[in-house]
Chain A
Amino acid sequence: MRDVCPRRGKAASSSDRLGGWTTRRPAGRACASRRAARVHGALRLMLSRTASNLYWMGRYLERADFTARLIEATQRLASLPSSYGGAVNAWESAIAASWMTHAFSATELPITETNVSEFLTLAPGNSSSIRSCLETARANARSVRTALTEEAWEAINAAWLEMSKLGPHLAGRDALGSILEMVKHAVSAFEGAAQRTMLRGDAFWFINLGSSIERADNSARLLDVKYHLLLPRGESVGGSLDYFQWTTILRTVSAMTAYRWVYRDSVKPWLVADLLILNRQIPRSLASCYDEIRRHLDLLASQTGRRGPAHRLAATGHARLANTNIDNIFADGLHEFLTGFIYDNNRLGDAIAEQYLF
């Protein structure tokens, strides 16, 4: 049963969607205090649909940004001579890292740079292509236009306008480069605008929750796939052949320079894993993402005075990252760790949706 504001009669009926609240307040008082708060502008309730749209908008923008970076890093890798590890499977691994192996094979196209990058950027049929991500993000933003500031909306709308000028095929490598630049720029512009202009309230927090969850998901998948592709050969890791493979990962998350700064060491696989999983200074590390997720969930709780299953799951996930080290992770198996993480991260996403009645 949930608290409601009936003027008369009984409280919640079974027709309501159930949330996972752990606390209850007496109906009458909640009603009065809410109305009082409204007068002073302290509290505004957000539509569940709005929260859902904002959350998914955050996720789709993050995914677009990630895909753009992944393509750039893959281009760089694929352009190397094969004696430097200019891997023949560079584009294959890009598809795998974006988790679209099946979707791509359904197109029955050969794996080439053009085919893969078109599939990842422009393909209207690919629901995770950059085009689709921007379209969905923009559609979500449009239907909750009032929850965004003008500047934040314009950043998304401008990117969508650019994108909608493009057909399904790339006009060439230059064209791809400028699309990727545009996408990264648009997502930055959106985050900047949101950061600078949006009220610090649930709208802002739901967007950030979405992008943090998606970011954690992307980083975990990227690491998992690359590790899978790279390690099973049983070669001595850290050789010059692998160097470019590992730096590709770092470039994808824009952490090449950060790596040097943090570890003052040559590129070593376990340090890359450490950086991406546990390092709190790197914004795309799992630990960082969970810092953000927890923070935004806490802010939501401080506004509503209520905590729920999502808070518990986030705290568990956060603790797991805080109470381990890279040696333990390797000892238990990195792949197992990452698949477990991806699963839990998804569960957290579901719990947020359920708790806030999406």
Chain B
Amino acid sequence: MAGIDAFDEMFGSSAAYNGGAGPLFGEATAINTAYRWIRDWLDNSPADVMAARRRQAELFFRRIGITFAVYGDPDAAERLIPFDIVPRILARAEWNRLEKGLVQRVNALNAFLGDVYGNREILRAGIVPEDLVLQNPGYCLHMAGRKPPGGIWTHIAGIDLVRTGPDEFFVLEDNARTPSGVSYMLENREVMLKLVPELFEHVKVAPVETYPEMLLETLGSVSPRGDGAPVIVLLTPGRHNSAFYEHSFLADKLGIELVEGSDLFVRDDVVYMRTTQGPERVDVIYRRIDDDFIDPLVFNPASMLGVPGLMAAYAQGNVTLANAVGTGIADDKAIYSYMPEIVKFYTGEEPILKNVPTWRCREPEALGYVLDNLAQLVVKEVDGSGGYGMLIGPHAPAATLAAFAAKLKAMPEKFIAQPTLALSTCPTAVDSGIAPRHVDLRPFVLSGRNGVNIVPGGLTRVAMTQGSLVVNSSQGGGTKDTWVVDDWDA
């Protein structure tokens, strides 16, 4: 596989990526200061100690039952996401910049959603093509003219970032629907605290454990009823869902009820849950079910997961759904390509976070370019997620390229293309020792009436396979603890 130059976060420089064949810590001249302790720790940990720690970490995850399912793989009903014990580090200054950019971007996303379901000013201004929004399968007609409490649409957003250089961060995609993975962010830190407490002595890491508290406040802030303590529930598709562990984990940490569709019912446009003492009114639903399945009376009539009448209660303003229905439009990758303009339009500021240059295959000129350069590009479905159905040109055999070209010609509006980014690498424990592996970062951004809040860091996903650029857990990716480091012992 061709080596590509990738920014190495530990050494703070780009290096011809050799798949970890050479000595990692040879005579490194420069090193990212915050990583110095990590390097010393790695140097001083014999291979068997590292191996033992990796086993301990796996045991820990198995015991607490933190698993996910891979769709289409019946043998892996409950699989562990590989956990890497080498943390990924961001200096405070780096994080502060990212944080500003994230707040700006999520504010713009919320404004955009409110606008396309409201006055449609951005369409009238001609910034985003009208047909791209209004004819988009992600655009939910039921939400047109509606305004959720506080004007908040994406209460929990996961913004996927990649790094390509010292100061170069790109947003790879926005997840404004139901981003998952935050349980790994929290559990990874717990595991690190247990496994390598000595590291935390020297490096002062910003805590992430306040996330449940912040989430609870965010959800409570958008309750439709102002008085008293709102009843908040987490709606899960059930224990067969790939992210069920996360649902139960969050409900537990938040101290809220974990409900399935059959636990809820609607009467007179009010949502109740069935309890051992009769119905109890529900104010806020943190739902981890897709729009399509949420109410069989309005959307997919075959859905057994949802609650009949929920949309009517929602429309009456008697219950808040987080995230709001219809946010999927913002996840569309063709819409994504307009994000720099969207940010400017609503905030009046230059976007702090960069967008990856994107070819919209719906535009004939772009399609022509994409077809000519397929082998260099990454092609994604506009409504795809989880790394399913995407093409990585440089890694694809000729037959796959040809098949994809045919798909592109048949349904160009379903695809976008981007240059293949050299995702930064981090030292990662693999079977042969420590080697660089590509990483991304998903911070979780909370928006409520109380403003926008982000815990420092997020979920770092790592492509465990040598040379792979796909970090999605459904495609064999792993995770790392992410440290925003305030200061460290000299």
Contact = CB atoms under 8 A, between A and B. Distances in A.
Contacts of B275: 45-48, 357
A306 B249 CA distance: 32
Contact of A5 (B244, B248, B265, B279): B279
A158 interface: yes
A202 interface: yes
Interface string A35-53: 1101100000111111100
A7 B258 contact: no
Nearest to B260: A49
A46 to B, nearest CB: 5
B263 A47 contact: yes
Contact of B267 (A6, A31, A35, A150): A6
Contacts of A306: 277
B239 A139 contact: yes
Interface residues on A, range: 35 or more
Contact of A48 (B63, B228, B270, B276): B276
Given A47-B259, A51-B276, A38 B270 contact: no
Interface residues of B, number: 36
B343 interface: no
Contacts of B55: none
A184 B251 CA distance: 30
Given A8-B268, A49-B262, A357-B276, A38 B64 contact: no
Interface string B226-244: 0011010000001100001
B130 interface: no
B281 A5 contact: yes
Contacts of A4: 267, 272, 278-279
B63 A356 contact: no
A142 B248 contact: yes
Interface string A1-13: 0111111111001
A3 B263 contact: no
A186 B275 CA distance: 30
What DSSP secondary structure best describes chain B's contact surface? mixed
Nearest to B228: A35
A17 B260 CA distance: 17
B231 A146 contact: no
A19 interface: yes
A183 B276 CA distance: 31
B62 A47 contact: no
A356 B274 CA distance: 10
A290 interface: no
Contacts of B64: 150, 153-154, 157
Contacts of B62: 161
B252 A47 contact: no
Contacts of B277: 45-46, 304, 306
B280 interface: yes
Contacts of B318: 7
Contact of A38 (B229, B251, B267): B229
A280 interface: no
Which of B64, B260, B262, B275 is the most central at the interface, judged by chain A CB atoms within 10 Å of its CB? B275
Given A8-B268, A47-B259, A49-B263, A157 B279 contact: no
B278 A19 contact: yes
Which of A2, A8, A47 is the most central at the interface, judged by chain B CB atoms within 10 Å of its CB? A47
Interface of A: 2-10, 13, 15-17, 19, 31, 34-36, 38-39, 45-51, 139, 142-146, 150, 153-154, 157-158, 161, 202, 304, 306, 356-357
Interface of B: 62-65, 228-229, 231, 238-239, 244, 248-249, 251-252, 256-260, 262-263, 265, 267-268, 270, 272-281, 318
7 cross-chain pairs, A with B, having the tightest CB-CB distances, nearest first: A145-B248, A45-B275, A356-B276, A146-B252, A9-B268, A146-B251, A143-B239
23 contacts: A2-B279, A5-B281, A7-B268, A10-B268, A15-B265, A31-B281, A35-B229, A36-B228, A38-B231, A45-B273, A45-B275, A45-B276, A47-B273, A48-B275, A144-B258, A145-B258, A146-B248, A146-B252, A161-B62, A161-B63, A304-B277, A356-B276, A357-B274
